[in-house]
Structure 1
């Protein structure tokens, strides 16, 4: 039996636009997130989701990451943005003749490639 409390997690405050409350995610599991109205509720819901995620991986005979391993990266993540920003990204992607995914990948790569000010 795994000690679920050994897995690191991250808590984020959700904006009112995103429903409020708190979002919990587990760096070792790219697809395991949950939320709650309070930090305590988010943690409990997150542990429940983590237990189900591990059970699903084990039932499919897939490897379960060790706590703190960082897991495996699928190359996919979900980011909620304000509707106005979403609309601007869609418009810019159409203007550039690329998918929104390609546009955002380009923005991220360009931003990460910039040197930090000294």
Structure 2
């Protein structure tokens, strides 16, 4: 079996998270590759971000190959059915049903939006560098 090249890896459908960064007077964009730990970049404009993340991926993969490290591949979308079961306290179930009724939507639709907002908030917080963090050179 032939070893994959950097371009082979770059052609794979990696998951890239993009967050608008407006912290500490800065206005720009932050991106990270979910499957490649530490592979991230930022850019002043959204248009610049695509090239910047590709450069970051190229360097990340090149260093991993040189060091003989395994390079994670993207997780196939088929691994996710879109369904899961969550057990919640009766009181929370009631609150969710009542909130969905107030909004005029199904419980499923309400929870879907609530989870999407919650994960978006968590990702925005996680994307902000810690004040004591010293960025690694790209």
TM-score if structure 2 supplies the norm length? 0.47
Counterpart in 1 of 2:129?
80
Counterpart in 1 of 2:53?
46
Counterpart in 2 of 1:4?
10
Question: Which 4+ runs in 1 deviate beyond 3 A?
Answer: none
Shift, 1:78, TM fit: 6.9
- Is the CA contact (8 Å cut-off) linking 2:30 and 2:127 kept in structure 1? no
For the structure 1 residues 35 and 53, does the alpha-carbon distance in structure 2 shift closer, same or farther, using more than 3 Å as the test? same
Within-5 A mapping of 1:17-28: 17=24, 19-28=26-35
User: What SS class does the counterpart of residue 32 from structure 2 fall into?
Assistant: strand
1:48-77, Cα deviation, whole Å (9 max, x unpaired): 0001000000000000011237xxxxxxx7
1:82-104, Cα deviation, whole Å (9 max, x unpaired): x7xx9xxxxxxxxxxxxxxxxxx
Between the aligned partners of 1:50 and 1:29, the Cα distance in structure 2 is 8
Shift, 1:80, TM fit: 2.8
Query: Can you give the 5+ residue segments of structure 1 that lack an aligned partner in the other structure?
Result: 70-76, 87-118
1:34 and 2:41 are equivalent in the alignment: yes
TM-score if structure 1 supplies the norm length? 0.55
